[in-house]
Amino acid sequence: MNKRIAVLAGDGIGPEVVEQALKAVKAIEKRFGCQFEYAPALVGAVAIEQTGNPYPDETHEICMRSDAVLFGAIGDPKYDNDPAAKVRPEQGLLAMRKKLGLYANIRPITTFKSLVHKSPLKPELVDGVDFMVLRELTGGIYFGEPRGRSENGLTAFDTCTYQRYEVERIARLAFEYARQRRQKVTAVDKANILATSRLWRETVRQLHAEYPDVSLEFMFVDNAAMQIVTFPKKFDVVVTENMFGDILTDEASVITGSLGLLPSASVGIHTSVFEPVHGSYPQAAGKDIANPLGAILSAALMFEYALGMPEAGQLIREACEQSIAQGIATTDIAAGKACGTSEVGDRIASCLV
Ligand code: IPM
Ligand code: MN
């Protein structure tokens, strides 16, 4: 049976970068003589407009019946500028993560040799950086209850909750990935302040007994924020809770030179989702200037983590590397004349067939 890919392009630059990722996927179909089924579905602000729901049930059904989800971006200034809006595009993303049980978000941070000079950090710090952040994605302050406002509106509160099993399952993944890499896990928390962080520490430490071949260090998140940009090469697998992971991965993206380059994979109980780390970048939508590499590299992760075709993932990564080296790049990373989004997508696809 053909594998099915749900395509959730979403808002802003989402559709145009997903279109480029699909060009790469179709080139792989040709090259490997395989065929996928594509199932487009609504998510984000476009879904609110058409159905009133940022993650409609129909979209969830399509995701559940697919082997992988290729995701663009969600978000629209219309909602950002309206604090009273009852439904928001971001709720669609959170609902999707929760309903698909995507408790682990994998964000690899690797640099491209030909882009080392684009990083605001010194080239010798950046060249050869290769670590992954494993961000917990369905717990913590993003989902904890109660949350809201007091009756008089003068107090607001959010709750950060973690249960032991939630920490254990992602910590296990961190140790497993570290085994396939350089055998080092850094667990980032704020255990000097937060009770949830102390539960994390205790759980990670106990699980470590099953992985004596992997070294484990704990680091407070403030210190980690400093060390990630001071000694980025010392990290291998970083595992952390939802909000810390959100913040640290935006920070880590500057190492590579552009947020537009970073892919991610969200895995867990049901279908895995592959999406660029960047958001919907509404100012660039429809202008053919957005960097499609985050989306294309997310497709590479899809072949590795969901479709059982690691060679295809590797080929896509090499094609991206090649096109950057040849100066086929969008304005955020171009050395000379910048290329358009679709031109970059075409060139990468043509390297693949
Ligand atoms: C991300 C984004 C989301 C998050 C937003 C859009 C809800 O910043 O995927 O990192 O905070 O998780
Ligand atoms: Mn984020």
One domain for residues 44 and 79: yes
Q: Which two tokens stand for residue 248?
A: 């640290």
Assess whether 157 and 251 both reside in one domain: yes
Same domain? 219 vs 128: yes
In contact, 317 and 346? CB cutoff 8 Å: no
Q: Which of 84, 2, 83, 94 is nearest to 43 (CA)?
A: 94
CA of 94, closest atom in ligand 1 = 7
In Å, what is the CA distance from 171 to each residue of 124, 135, 162, 163, 213? 31, 10, 13, 13, 15
Q: In the prediction, which pLDDT does 120 show?
A: 92
In a domain, 108, yes or no: no
pLDDT in tens, 37-53: 999 999 999 999 999 99
- Per-residue pLDDT tens over the stretch 234-282: 999 999 999 999 999 999 998 988 889 999 999 999 999 999 999 999 9
Q: Identify whether the C-beta of residue 287 lies closer than 8 Å to the C-beta of residue 10.
A: no
Share of the chain above pLDDT 90, in %: 92
Minimal-distance CA residue to ligand 1 atom 4 = 246
Let me know whether 290 and 318 are in one domain. Answer: yes
Ligand 2 centroid to 109 CA: how many Å?
Answer: 14
337 confidence band (pLDDT: 50, 70, 90): very high
Per-residue confidence (pLDDT) for residue 92, from 0 to 100: 96
- Crossing angle (nearest 10°) for helices 341-352 and 293-305: 40
In this model, does residue 298 exceed pLDDT 80?
A: yes
**Count of domains for the chain:** 2
Tell me if 110 is assigned to some domain. Answer: no
Most confident of 49-63, 78-92, 329-343: 49-63
pLDDT in tens, 73-113: 999 999 988 888 899 999 999 999 999 999 999 999 999 88
Give me the domain span that covers residue 246: 120-256
Is residue 113 situated within a structural domain? Answer: no
Quote the CA–CA distance of 49 and 274 in Å, as a whole number. Answer: 24
Give the CATH number of the domain where residue 130 resides. Answer: 3.40.718.10
pLDDT, tens only, 4-44: 999 999 999 999 999 999 999 999 999 999 999 999 999 99
Q: Are residues 16 and 97 in the same domain?
A: yes
Contact indicator for 156, 146 with CB cutoff of 8 Å: no
Q: Is the predicted pLDDT of residue 231 greater than 90, yes or no? A: yes
Residue 158: inside a domain, yes or no? yes
- Rounded-to-integer distance, Cα 331 and Cα 187, Å: 36
Identify the pLDDT of residue 83: 80
> Which amino acid makes up residue 61?
E
**Active site (catalytic) residues:** 142, 190, 222, 246, 250
Q: Are residues 86 and 133 in the same domain?
A: no
- Please state, in angstroms and rounded to a whole number, the distance separating the CA atoms of residues 213 and 133: 20
Bond from prior residue into 276 cis (ω within 30 degrees of 0)? no
* pLDDT band with cut points at 50, 70 and 90 for residue 1: confident
| Residue 206, pLDDT score | 98
Contacts of 332 (CB under 8 A, 6+ apart): 258, 260, 291
Same domain? For 272 and 252 the reply is no
For the Cβ of 43 lying below 6 angstroms from any atom of ligand 1, the answer is no
User: Is residue 42 in some structural domain?
Assistant: yes
Is there a domain that residue 130 lies in?
Answer: yes
Q: Rounded to the nearest 5°, which phi and psi values hold at 6?
A: -80, 135
Tell whether 114 is covered by a domain.
no
Domain identity same for 67 and 41: yes
The answer to whether residues 268 and 101 touch, using CB atoms and an 8 Å cutoff, is yes
For residues 74 and 96, state if they share a domain. yes
Q: What is the pLDDT of residue 222?
A: 98
The predicted pLDDT at position 76 comes to 95
Query: Which residue among 256, 282, 297 closes a domain?
Result: 256
- For residues 125 and 221, state if they share a domain: yes
Model pLDDT, residue 117: 87
Whether 151 shows a pLDDT value over 80: the answer reads: yes
Q: Which long-range contacts (CB under 8 A, 24 or more apart) does 82-88 make?
A: 87/48, 87/52, 87/53, 87/54, 88/54
Boundary residue ending a domain (256, 287, 304): 256
Question: Counting atoms of ligand 1 from 1, which one is nearest the CA of 105?
Answer: 9
CA of 108 to the centre of ligand 2 (A): 14
Nearest CA to ligand 1 atom 8: 246
Q: End-to-end CA distance of the chain: give it in Å, rounded.
A: 23
Q: Quick one: 251 and 131 in the same domain? A: yes
Owner of token pair 């602000």: 45
Spatial distance between the Cα atoms of 267 and 58, rounded to a whole number of angstroms: 21
Do both 229 and 135 map to the same domain? yes
Q: 63 lies in a domain?
A: yes
Q: How does pLDDT run across 157-177, given as a tens digit for each residue?
A: 999 999 999 999 999 999 999
Residue closest to 10 by CA, chosen among 64, 68, 69, 67: 69
Band of pLDDT at residue 149, cut at 50, 70 and 90: very high
Q: Which of 205, 226, 256 is the last residue of a domain?
A: 256
